[in-house]
Amino acid sequence: MEIRYNSTRSKSAPVKASEAILRGLSEDGGLFVPDHIPALDVPVDKLAEMDYRQTAYEVMKLFLTDFTGEELKDCIAKAYDDKFDTEEIAPVVEKDGAYYLELFHGATIAFKDMALSILPHLLTTSAKKNHVKNEIVILTATSGDTGKAALSGFADVEGTRIVVFYPKNGVSPIQEKQMITQKGKNTRVIGIHGNFDDAQTGVKKIFGDRKLAEEMDAKGFQFSSANSINIGRLVPQIVYYVYAYGQLLKAGKIKAGEKINVTVPTGNFGNILAAYYAKQMGLPIDKLICASNENKVLYDFFRTGTYDRNREFVLTSSPSMDILISSNLERLIYHIAGNDADKNRELMSALTQGGTYTITEAMKAELADFYGNYADEKETAETIRSLYEKTGYVIDTHTAVASCVYEKYRKETGDERPTVLASTASPFKFTRSVMKAIDGGYEQMEDFELVDKLSEISGVKTPKAIEEIRTAPVLHNYVCEKDEMKQAVTGFLRL
């Protein structure tokens, strides 16, 4: 059955999957959502027999219904190849009573690789299907990981250019080095004086600039997005939850049909929304545990029903979650409002104008599947140290937030159901924070000395992604004010 995509903010004509991927964002500022959530048509017991590529096909064919089977299989084969350092693509590792879904085995050692390895292929296929003659300009804001994964995916892809904005002082040293050393004639990385929310707001503003869109079209360009606001990012993320369930079945850790919980460290809400969609498809998931850091806007939302970004912005050791405007939450709001675009638009307008909105009691009741909590900086560090001392397993700061919140959930509820934790980044991406948590005595070391020490104590070989940037030259040293982002883009395109 064909799926069309509606805007979360209007009743405008629905579009095909390929059109939604190309546009990234609806013209009215809304996000594209499927007109219905398809049911998983593979019996759950069969998931144990499928590898990652087969699972990806079975999930994605249900959402991307205007792609032929051949087109989709081609995109999947190109994405999930030897750029991942393990055959499983996303291994599930059991440690201390939880199952860590390792989503960091791709080219940039963060979970964003899982979707951004395939998005360029989905996008170029969509362009051909829709007879697009323009060069596609990918415009993206990053809190640290999306930027490098998008740059890596789109570097030197014919018919595309990519511009990435990041908060100049709001990412880890390794994250920044990964981005500013990026090769590719079609790439541009720009630091802004501001935080991630400023970068994300600026990108959305550029997307909504009709006059600029007309100027670009005249010069043979059009915008698209690699952020998780693009449905082409979200659909591939559903895959790894389905795959994780199959891996637990295969290992005999659960029985077919047995429910599991999923814990996700959450910033922009895309990763946990993908788990929500997997549950809606019929995957046996019970609780969706939403883990926040000290920027606990989502924890407060799940507790009170009020979303309020009017608060101090905290720079933490888990910078990819330092977000006060969780863009993908809009998709969930639309669904729990009964797919009511008018109600959603009213709430999003309130957020833009006053920085806050409150959902109805009926909508709040629809959030029963979710549990929210947060970990402060001290708890995050303690979780890293404790797990390492117990098991020798080293996790990054974002995964530690999830692990800490999962322990809080277990103590609070007594629920011992098998639980998958989304392990969203390699500890090598946040070596300074990780090593400080394990032993404060390492603080005087240089960043790459810390990398070598982490490899030594964890018994894990330093990832290729880190070795590559050790001596790489800086190729992008562009910085702008947050209100100069449009000029930075037009300058790159020479408009």
Per-residue tokens: 382: 């303690």
Is residue 112 among the annotated active site residues? Answer: yes
Alpha-carbon distance values, 90 to 100, 114, 338 (Å): 10, 9, 34
Q: Which of 16, 46, 95, 112 is catalytic?
A: 112
Kindly tell me the sign of the dihedral angle through the C-alpha atoms of 337, 342, 343, 349.
Answer: positive
CA angle 489-492-495, nearest 5°? 80
Helix extents (H) in 253-358: 270-280, 297-304, 329-336, 341-354
Helix, strand, coil share of the chain (percent; to 5): 50, 15, 35
In 10 A of CB 53, how many CB atoms?
Answer: 17
Which residues lie closer than 8 Å to 414 by C-beta, 6 or more apart? none
> Phi and psi dihedrals of 58, rounded to 5?
-65, -35
DSSP 91-119: -EEEETTEEEEE---STTSBTHHHHHTTH
Which residues lie closer than 8 Å to 441 by C-beta, 6 or more apart? none
Which sequence positions are flagged as catalytic? 112
